[in-house]
Structure 1
Amino acid sequence: MSNTSLKRTLSLWQVSALGLAWNTPMIYFSTFGVSYESASGQLLITYTLAFIAILFTGISYAYLAKKIPVSGSAYTFAKAAIHPNAGFIVGWIVLLNYLFAPIIACITFGVFLSAQFPTIPSFVWIIALIILLAAIAIKGIGASANISATFVAIQLLFIGGFAGFLLYKLFQGGNVPLANAFAAPLLQLDNPFHVLMVGASVVVFSFLGFDTITTLSEETKNPTKTIPRAIYLILIIVGTFHLTSSFVIQTSFPRLSFIQADAAALELMASVGGGILQLIFIVVLAMAIFTQGLASITAVSRLMFVMGRDGLLPKRAFAFIHPTYKTPVFNIILASCLSLLSLLFTVESAIRFVNFGALTSFFFVNLCVIILSWKNRVRHAPFLTYIAPAIGATIMFVLVSMLDVTTLTVGFTWIAFGFVYLLYLTNVFQQPLAAWKPSSKQSIHLP
């Protein structure tokens, strides 16, 4: 058995790059058709609701990352704040989210590349991506972060240029009054509020990713400061670019229809800039999907590592760290093999499964802040410790309830299997899971 320790090498910018890579700013366009249909065309309002919903949970993640600077994300937070059994169930839910994230990357990669190059089947692109992601992820977290930082910068430049071009076209010649142009997307209320919230429960996927960096706490320099700062930085960047993109697209194209929803962004690019913009878009999108897949494989492999280290998954395999690369090689290979399921799913179905896992785990993360604060009799900063997490938990509960019946059925079936496995692990609660006992390097930092 190799020494189960990870190497602290990541800086604020590297951690932020990995979070942005998982989220990938271009996810807005790779899932544009699904999001547009879910939002019934009212992009700006729906994305604004989703951003507000995520912001409260982001506050809770930042708070817990400062207090519990240990890899494992929501799993570790629930184990430390609530109970080891609750930690397992939350970790099991997060696992659904993290396992489907690289699957979405592979699906979208195959869809867009085969749409641009129809002579090459999508499965060829998918298999090639899986092999490449596994090889780079095995090599090490530093390589992943540096590649991600470069590709994320290219994405942001493309989105900024695209939005700027649409704004220029919109106001060229002064034919459109500024006040009317800026007000139109906000005043376009064709759907009732509950329909907008249903749309928000889908487009919220575009804001996911900040949470994955909490799986990197043990590979980050000064994690009690770096991780919370990275969370806020990611939310600000993603929120700014998604809301700006929603505004300029909805203002420029009040009504849109697509031949193929999964590749709708290709049709959008053709209508804006023709074949040249389409080609540039494909190149940037390929980079974006690549970084999303790389960050997703990294995140899920670290979550499985922590659960293996804690004995919730077979320790010999899942807690193994390669002596040379210092990465959980078995977990990376397993996640890569599971990514072959991308050959069986659509983009929309995979997004909904990710959203179920994410939104449900977000509910528990908000709950963790309240319980941890109550247990330790925290009285100051009530907004951070009680009000914001209570609002966040309520919003997450509402968004989960608005997911479609199939997604809820599959999601709760997954939880049921997790509960059965928990009964096995604990011998029907006769042998409780070990409580989390922080070491000197893994302590809860209380006020």
Structure 2
Amino acid sequence: PMINYLLIGLFLNIAFPAVPAWAFVLASIALVTVLNVVGINSVAKTSNLIVGAQIVFIGVFVALSWQTLGNGQPMDLLAPLRGDGSAPGFGPLMAGAAVLCLSFLGFDAVSTLAEESRDARRDVPRAIILTTLFAGLLFTVLAYASQLVLPGSTFANADAAANEVMLKAGGQFLANFFTAAYVAGSLGSALASQAAVSRILYTMGRDRVLPQRTFGHLSPRLGTPVFAILLVSAFSLLALVIDLSTLASLISFGALVAFSAVNLAVVKTHLMDDRAQRNLKGLLCYGAVPLVGLSLTLWLWTSLSALTMVIGLCWFALGLAYLAVLTAGFRRQMCVVDFSEAG
């Protein structure tokens, strides 16, 4: 959630420069914390309203962009695919992809709410796939339209470059609409991500990976993991002191760790543990495809900054040391969660 709070402070400070960014950050943390403590129903209802507002904004942006592009000047539809020549080569593209892979996070958070869905076995996998496909298509269309409206890679404020795109596409009206929709979207993302992270911490507490008395406790009245929610909010206060590029890179580091682990887990589960899958189809689906995914993920990793790698690897080392303590120096297994219907 931290990056959402940072972005809320950044964009609202641009709209209301008299109010410091930290005030908006604190207010948004307080609002999201209260909604998460109250319960998942409040999170779901608020998120639905926010998504509806964003869909309206997307429609207005596309319409005004089309109007701006159709003002009689020649338009090169392939320009967004070629770039403006200011950053040649494949390296800058990979560097951008390594940072912006965080934009695709969220589809995996659906799985953390399995215990609070009506039919988890049917709904959760379907929601993950649909979210990934829809978000990928939406990001591509909006990025393509933005590059057509304002070609180039140099902006007055790189952290708020989208504001310049909106001014070019629809003037001050669209810029104000964008700020409102973006802040609403960041609040929605913070709501969902804080709900997901707190429930991961609760599950780890319930399974005794983290101290059970604190992390594995649900509020008897509200039915929410209040301690985990408050802990996430406390960590989110780092948004007051960290810069956007470093935070985005750190989140991407964590995402790339997870993506790498998922690809390796597919190979382990379907080929190493299940001998029946060791046929041509299995080798292609459960061997070649995840290994290609792992290779691309490792390639993206090389594009992260040195500072990100140092901080990320130190955090990874701390986790490994904690795992060593829990397993008595890797001599005993961790507890295994039973995901069966009867478990």
Give the TM-score of the pair, scaled to structure 1.
0.71
Aligned in 2, Cα 1:384/1:279: closer, same or farther, shift over 3 Å? Answer: same
Q: Does 1:142 align with 2:41?
A: yes
Choose between structure 1 and 2 for higher RCO, CA contacts under 8 A separated by at least 6 residues. 1
Which residues of structure 1 form unaligned runs of 5+? 1-101, 443-447
Partner deviation per Cα, 1:43-91 (whole Å, 9 max, x = no partner): xxxxxxxxxxxxxxxxxxxxxxxxxxxxxxxxxxxxxxxxxxxxxxxxx
Q: Which residue of 1 aligns with 2:213?
A: 316
Within the candidate set 179, 188, 198, 1:291 is matched to 188
Aligned in 2, Cα 1:246/1:378: closer, same or farther, shift over 3 Å? Answer: farther
Give the TM-score of the pair, scaled to structure 2.
0.92
1:43-442 correspondence runs (5 A): 102-173=1-72, 175-176=73-74, 181-188=76-83, 190=85, 191-255=88-152, 257-374=154-271, 375-379=273-277, 382=282, 383-441=284-342
Deviates more, 1:372-381 or 1:150-159: 372-381
Aligned in 2, Cα 1:122/1:104: closer, same or farther, shift over 3 Å? Answer: same
Structure 2 CA distance for aligned equivalents of residues 388 and 152 of structure 1: 33
Deviates more, 1:155-164 or 1:124-133: 155-164
Count of residues paired in the alignment:
337
Amino acid of the structure 1 residue aligned with 2:31: L
Amino acid of the structure 2 residue aligned with 1:122: A
Partner deviation per Cα, 1:319-367 (whole Å, 9 max, x = no partner): 1111122111110011111111100111111110100001111110111
Structure 1 CA distance for aligned equivalents of residues 217 and 54 of structure 2: 34
Aligned in 2, Cα 1:156/1:137: closer, same or farther, shift over 3 Å? Answer: same
Amino acid of the structure 1 residue aligned with 2:305: D
Structure 2 CA distance for aligned equivalents of residues 347 and 188 of structure 1: 24
**Is this contact kept in 2: 1:317–1:330, CA < 8 A?**
yes
**Is this contact kept in 2: 1:366–1:389, CA < 8 A?**
yes
Aligned in 2, Cα 1:433/1:124: closer, same or farther, shift over 3 Å? Answer: same
Amino acid of the structure 2 residue aligned with 1:280: F
Aligned in 2, Cα 1:122/1:435: closer, same or farther, shift over 3 Å? Answer: same
**Is this contact kept in 2: 1:133–1:290, CA < 8 A?**
yes
Amino acid of the structure 2 residue aligned with 1:369: V
Aligned in 2, Cα 1:189/1:283: closer, same or farther, shift over 3 Å? Answer: closer
Shift of 1:441: 4.1
**Is this contact kept in 1: 2:84–2:153, CA < 8 A?**
no
Shift of 1:155: 1.0
Deviates more, 1:233-242 or 1:257-266: 257-266
Deviates more, 1:395-404 or 1:102-111: 395-404
Shift of 1:169: 2.1
**Is this contact kept in 2: 1:360–1:400, CA < 8 A?**
no
Partner deviation per Cα, 1:199-229 (whole Å, 9 max, x = no partner): 2111222222111111112222222221221
Aligned in 2, Cα 1:256/1:393: closer, same or farther, shift over 3 Å? Answer: closer
Structure 1 CA distance for aligned equivalents of residues 194 and 125 of structure 2: 22
Aligned in 2, Cα 1:206/1:437: closer, same or farther, shift over 3 Å? Answer: closer
**Is this contact kept in 1: 2:149–2:168, CA < 8 A?**
no
Partner deviation per Cα, 1:146-169 (whole Å, 9 max, x = no partner): 211221121122123212321232
Q: Which residue of 2 aligns with 1:60?
A: none
Partner deviation per Cα, 1:221-246 (whole Å, 9 max, x = no partner): 22222122111211222122211112
Structure 1 CA distance for aligned equivalents of residues 26 and 187 of structure 2: 13
Q: After the TM superposition, list the runs of 4 or more consecutive aligned residues in structure 1 that deviate by more than 6 angstroms.
A: none
Which residues of structure 2 form unaligned runs of 5+? none
Structure 2 CA distance for aligned equivalents of residues 263 and 195 of structure 1: 19
Shift of 1:384: 4.0
Structure 1 CA distance for aligned equivalents of residues 71 and 32 of structure 2: 43
Deviates more, 1:118-127 or 1:274-283: 274-283
SS at match of 2:78: helix
Amino acid of the structure 2 residue aligned with 1:275: Q
